Amino acid sequence: MQVIVISGLAGSGKSIALTVLEDSGYYCVDNLPANLLREVALYLKESGHQRAAVSIDARSRETLHLLPQQLADLRRQEMDVHLLFLEAKTDALVKRFSETRRRHPLSDDRSTLPECIQSEREMLGEIHDLANRIDTSDLSASALRTWIRDFISLNPARLTLLFQSFAFKHSIPLDSDMLFDVRCLPNPHYEPLLRPFTGKDDAVIEYLDANIDVNRMFDDIREFVDDWLPCFIRDSRNYLTVAIGCTGGRHRSVYFVERLARYFTGKTQVLVRHRELD
């Protein structure tokens, strides 16, 4: 039986993720106390369910500390268990709460909304470090749905090497494990004929392929990831996110992500995300 546990910050898109999973055939349970996870999963398995998704977050803060042990117990029962953590930057979350006029689950008469969000981050800190993370700060709802579908399509038995392009002007992704800055390289944005294209297009690819520094940078990043990938596999990591950033997130970073993905495909399971294009 496969069990996906969704956690993360209030307002980060957990409801969207749960809806996608339900539409994909998962039996979904929202706002489950952490101490009931093992019991519920075993019941669903005995009832004949093959896939389940459970949302556990700060709303069940009294039992949240029990979640790591509950996950370990399920794995000992030979269940295929995955923890997905959704997060976002504080200013993005404040904006979402203001737009929807929702109340934060930790709100009281003494704390501001940013203080509640910070308390929630600290409360979920241990879970955050155990999970596959998605930073939804700059994602539309449709892009998040696509990323969730990509997540559930992966082979859980293999490490997934996720390459993500992004724009530094829109901030660094929170879900990065390795981060590389390619802003020092020639920028196709300043070439009028190349500006409308992206790093996926032949004209931009040919322009960057012809540059010596671009190829040196690619070789250095490829070699670094290649050298350390076995270490992450030995550490039983399920996901490793390599983020490549440039100024606008449309040309150089996209080019590098696509080129790196081509190289590592076949060595391990590869997933590609282009934050600004998505």
| pTM of the complete model | 0.81
pLDDT in tens, 215-268: 999 999 999 999 999 998 888 777 899 999 999 999 999 999 999 999 999 889
- Give the mean pLDDT of the chain: 93
pLDDT of residue 265: 94
pLDDT of residue 156: 67
Provide CATH code, domain 2-153.
3.40.50.300
Q: 10 Å Cβ neighbour count for 157?
A: 8
Segment 4-16 mean pLDDT? 96
pLDDT of residue 244: 98
Higher pLDDT, 101 or 18: 18
CA distance 112 to 274: 34
Please report, for the chain, the start and end positions of each structural domain, with discontinuous segments joined by +: 2-153, 161-274
pLDDT in tens, 56-99: 999 988 999 999 999 999 999 889 999 999 999 999 999 999 88
pLDDT in tens, 17-26: 999 999 999 9
Strands (E) located in the chain: 2-8, 27-29, 51-55, 80-87, 132-135, 160-167, 178-181, 239-246, 269-274
Of 127, 116, 109, 124, residue with least CA distance to 90: 116
**pLDDT level of residue 155 (50, 70, 90 thresholds):** confident
Q: Which of 9-13, 39-43, 141-145, 151-155 has the lowest mean pLDDT?
A: 151-155
pLDDT in tens, 107-151: 888 889 999 999 999 999 988 888 889 999 989 999 999 999 988
CA distance 72 to 137: 30
CA torsion through residues 14, 18, 24, 29, sign: positive
